[in-house]
Structure 1
Amino acid sequence: MEVAFTGDSVIDGGDGGGVSKSLAVIACTAMAILYVAILYAPTLILRLPPPDSFQSHLIRRFICAAISSVASLIACSLILPIQWGKSHLSGVYGIRLDHIWQAVVFPLTLTSLMYAGTFILKLLLLLDSGQEDGGNGRSLSLDSIKNVVHEFIESVSSMASDISAWRNFFVAPLTEELVFRACMIPLLLCGGFNTYTVVFLCPISFSLAHLNHLLEYAQRSGSWLKALTIVGFQVGYTVIFGSYASFLFVRTG
């Protein structure tokens, strides 16, 4: 059986799929466990002192996430029966130059629709502000537009220097997509799972990886009920969004 993504196949499954279902599941489970467990390795295994600041805490976690992502990429390349002569290794992970614009434009456009309501609301508020200025005898001048642009640039600059923004908008999405989509989906497809099973199986690992926050939220809030509510919402949301992201990867990667 040959497992093919959109475009030319770079994985040759052979007659038996190349990878057994049990091996694919074990590999995906190990990647998910490694992604979470390595975050606690510096203090529990390496016996390093606790970080002295929130920034150093996140930087340490960035390094751990990068190590687990690279390890998953290497393990995936060793397990999958890759036809090295047909395409580059990046093609296995959904990065191929033959349709790079489809893989970028379509997912970004569809995902941006999820936040279209927020953008429209901001635009309406801006228009209302302009109408109020007009009612007060002031026009929406070029200076006011420049002020809006200046505030936007300042907000982007402040985010660039915010370590939490780097975690939320860069490190976490990149490493999660590499491990839970780019590595796991090819393994499961090559293991013989059908597309619909993969689309709903990967998000389960993705969502369960967020259970490690349960103890943190419980200690922070002092209430297990509140912690369970927050983590339960995260698990439910990540299952839904993970299914959507997995579907996009299968169709465009």
Structure 2
Amino acid sequence: MEGEGGVSKSVAVIACTAMTLFYVAILYSPTLILRLPPPSSLKNFMIRRFICAVISSIVSVVFCALILPMRSWEVPLLFGAYGIRMDHIWHAVVFPLSLTSLMYAGSLVLKSLLLVNSWKEYKSMDGGLSFNCIKHLPQKFLGWMISIASDILAWRNYVVAPLTEELVFRACMIPLLLCGGFKTYTVVFLCPIFFSLAHLNHSMEFYSRQNCSLLKAFMAVGLQLGYTVIFGFYASFLFIRTGHLVAPLIAHIFCNFMGLPVLFSRRSGMVTVAFIAGVVGFVWLLFPLTCPDLYNDRTDHCRCWHGYCAWN
């Protein structure tokens, strides 16, 4: 496929806007268009949305493939355009995950302190560390894993939402914008705008469900939008630098699991120190751990789709 002159900037922006609107609109199609009765439970409601999100992702992938100037429809080349690759897969998992965890150094330290305190309280109540306690640890861990696997909200936060959003807002949109002639830095800052617009519908849902003021709803969603924009910058950066979809995907799952980073704690100053050290480490390692040479066999003078060999 060619990376120059295949798509105009206006076509790329219109296509990205259309995919954004379709990703949101299809979520409401079961009741507004198909006239289906309201779901009887949260599980049925979420399953409907899962199906809609998957359909939206498939349509966006096909729509994007028809617009992109593909030279060949071979499966490896087609998947590679979306960053779906098996080569350097461990690099694309370990390095971005390690980099992302640095921003959560304060959160990880706080969780460790809480775990140690609860462990000390348990030991003081039980009179020491018994063999039965150690023996039941695997069972407790297995029970925790089963509870997570059976939680419909966990499937949304850790599977469906990250996978479909990264497919649409990174794998589909970034190649279109790059092919449209936008510079890599422009794409990093432009792509999250579409990503944040797709979350505007949460303001009305929050307003209708919580029965709160419209101002409070917009403030809550404004905080969420700010977070999604910042994460969108980072995810787009990872995708362009590595050429791997799994890189922003694993970061997305980890961020959803951790929530907002903890900046400080009244219990211990170690949390603040860890957060600052994590931020410093993140900035220091951001470019070295996302160096294109770590994720691709050859980057010199290549006709790579994601533009990493043109990155300065």
TM-score, normalisation: structure 1: 0.87
Change (3 A) 1:125 1:141: farther
Selected match of 1:250 from 240, 245, 265: 240
Q: Which residue of 1 aligns with 2:9?
A: 21
Give the residue type in structure 1 aligned to 2:17: T
Q: Does 1:43 find its partner at 2:31? A: yes
Q: Which residue of 2 aligns with 1:126?
A: 115
Q: Equivalent pairs: percent with the same residue? A: 66
Q: Does 1:109 find its partner at 2:60? A: no
Q: Following the alignment from structure 1 to structure 2, what is the Cα–Cα distance between the partners of residues 135 and 45?
A: 60
Q: Does 1:156 find its partner at 2:145? A: yes
CA drift at 1:75: 0.8
More divergent stretch after superposition (125-134 vs 191-200)? 125-134
CA contact (8 A) 1:130 1:139 kept: no
More divergent stretch after superposition (129-138 vs 206-215)? 129-138
* 1:78-89 superposed matches below 5 A: 78-84=66-72, 87-89=76-78
CA drift at 1:242: 0.8
CA drift at 1:129: 4.0
Selected match of 2:191 from 199, 202, 210: 202
Q: Following the alignment from structure 1 to structure 2, what is the Cα–Cα distance between the partners of residues 40 and 132?
A: 49
Q: Which residue of 2 aligns with 1:58?
A: 46
Structure 2 stretches lacking a partner, 5+ long: 244-312
Please give the per-residue CA displacement for 1:17-42, whole angstroms capped at 9, x wherever unaligned.
Answer: x1110010011000000000000111
CA contact (8 A) 1:130 1:140 kept: no
Change (3 A) 1:137 1:220: closer
Q: Following the alignment from structure 1 to structure 2, what is the Cα–Cα distance between the partners of residues 37 and 85?
A: 30
Q: Following the alignment from structure 2 to structure 1, what is the Cα–Cα distance between the partners of residues 68 and 126?
A: 68
Selected match of 1:190 from 164, 168, 179: 179
Give the residue type in structure 1 aligned to 2:237: F
Selected match of 1:181 from 145, 166, 170: 170
Q: Following the alignment from structure 1 to structure 2, what is the Cα–Cα distance between the partners of residues 216 and 126?
A: 35
CA drift at 1:247: 0.5
CA drift at 1:142: 4.0
Please give the per-residue CA displacement for 1:120-172, whole angstroms capped at 9, x wherever unaligned.
Answer: 33333333344456667933344334444433322221111111111111101
CA drift at 1:84: 2.0
Change (3 A) 1:55 1:135: closer
Q: Following the alignment from structure 1 to structure 2, what is the Cα–Cα distance between the partners of residues 59 and 21?
A: 36
CA contact (8 A) 2:3 2:178 kept: no
Q: Does 1:97 find its partner at 2:96? A: no
Q: State the SS of the aligned residue for 2:88.
A: helix
TM-score, normalisation: structure 2: 0.72
Q: Which residue of 2 aligns with 1:237?
A: 227
CA contact (8 A) 1:188 1:198 kept: yes
More divergent stretch after superposition (20-29 vs 88-97)? 88-97
Q: Which residue of 2 aligns with 1:211?
A: 200
The number of residue pairs the alignment matches comes to 241
Structure 1 stretches lacking a partner, 5+ long: 1-10
Q: Following the alignment from structure 2 to structure 1, what is the Cα–Cα distance between the partners of residues 82 and 205?
A: 33
Q: Following the alignment from structure 2 to structure 1, what is the Cα–Cα distance between the partners of residues 21 and 176?
A: 16
Q: Following the alignment from structure 1 to structure 2, what is the Cα–Cα distance between the partners of residues 135 and 159?
A: 30
More divergent stretch after superposition (229-238 vs 212-221)? 212-221
Q: Following the alignment from structure 2 to structure 1, what is the Cα–Cα distance between the partners of residues 64 and 125?
A: 64
CA drift at 1:63: 0.6
Please give the per-residue CA displacement for 1:32-60, whole angstroms capped at 9, x wherever unaligned.
Answer: 00000000111111111111211111111
Indicate the RMSD between aligned Cα atoms, in angstroms: 2.1
